């Protein structure tokens, strides 16, 4: 079943196409992009095409191609839904390095948060992030995620040749409702 297209002020999240594979292969073979990703092994085109086919078929996998306001495909983002637990697990990669630091990461995360709580009625959205990925940790905290677990030396980083810690972070439905309420109150006061 096709997943709904999601839109923010600048960003559109659309279902991936198999023709997106070439860009994904470039991004996921770039050590500057993968330095803090779980996926660091060399990626072949045929494997990426198989991966995308599987993602598109999987009804619980909402993996999106990220398109900016100029119609440029700049990355991938999405989540895996665990229906029984009313829980979703988030991931994001802006593969185009020139597009980092423009606020897209925050907008994409906000679109996904809004969709999973408002439309899919989940109770919890969670993620894993490596501790040295300060930019990512910053945006997740800003969007309302809380650190609930810190695992020491959990993963060997093939790029930095060091063992990295990671954080498990989550935002619960009740956190989202509180944030939403705060934003509405702030708007009213202005
Ligand atoms: C991590 C990623 C998603 C962030 O997206 P982005 O579009 O670059 O981020 P934004 O522009 O929305 O926001 C960046 C924020 O981080 C802050 N920041 C940048 N470098 C930072 C640092 N070293 N420490 C703390 N905060 C930092 C910026 O000031 C900005 O916050 P602000 O708006 O409050 O000032 C993106 O860089 C990316 O895809 N990186 C490669 C893959 C990856 O690491 N994915 C995450 C896996 S968990």
Instruction: Summarize pLDDT for 125-159 with one digit per residue, the tens.
Output: 999 999 999 999 999 999 999 999 999 999 999 99
Distance 57 CA to ligand 1 centre (A): 30
CATH 3.40.630.30 assigned to domain 6-189? The reply is yes
Backbone phi, psi, residue 13, to 5°: -110, 115
Write the pLDDT tens digit of every residue in 80-125: 999 999 999 999 999 999 999 999 999 999 999 999 999 999 999 9
Using a 6 Å cutoff on CB, does residue 36 contact ligand 1? yes
Closest residue CA from atom 37 of ligand 1: 100
Chain-centroid distance of CA 23 in Å reads 17
Which of 63, 2, 52 has the alpha carbon at shortest distance from 25?
A: 52
Using a 6 Å cutoff on CB, does residue 101 contact ligand 1? yes
Closest residue CA from atom 4 of ligand 1: 105
Statement: residue 78 has pLDDT above 80? yes
Q: What mean pLDDT is reported for the chain? A: 95
Which of 183, 159, 124 has the alpha carbon at shortest distance from 33?
A: 159
How many whole angstroms separate alpha carbon 158 and alpha carbon 45? 21
């Amino acid at each position: 079943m096709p997943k709904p297209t999601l839109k923010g002020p600048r960003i559109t999240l659309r279902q991936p196409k198999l023709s997106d594979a070439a860009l994904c292969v470039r991004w996921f073979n770039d050590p500057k992009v993968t330095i803090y990703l779980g996926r660091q092994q060399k990626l072949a085109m045929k494997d990426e095409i198989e991966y995308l086919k599987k993602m598109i078929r999987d009804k619980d996998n909402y993996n999106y191609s990220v398109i900016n306001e100029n119609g440029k495909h700049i990355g991938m983002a999405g989540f895996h839904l665990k229906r029984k637990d009313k829980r979703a697990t988030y991931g994001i990669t802006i593969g185009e390095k020139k597009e980092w630091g423009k606020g897209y990461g925050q907008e994409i995360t906000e679109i996904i948060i809004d969709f999973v709580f408002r439309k899919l009625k989940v109770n919890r959205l969670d993620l894993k992030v490596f501790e040295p990925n300060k930019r990512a940790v910053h945006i997740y905290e800003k969007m309302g995620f809380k650190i609930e677990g810190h695992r020491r030396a959990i993963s060997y980083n093939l790029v930095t040749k060091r063992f990295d810690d990671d954080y498990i972070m989550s935002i619960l439905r009740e956190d989202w409702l509180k944030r939403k309420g705060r934003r509405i109150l702030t708007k009213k006061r202005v």
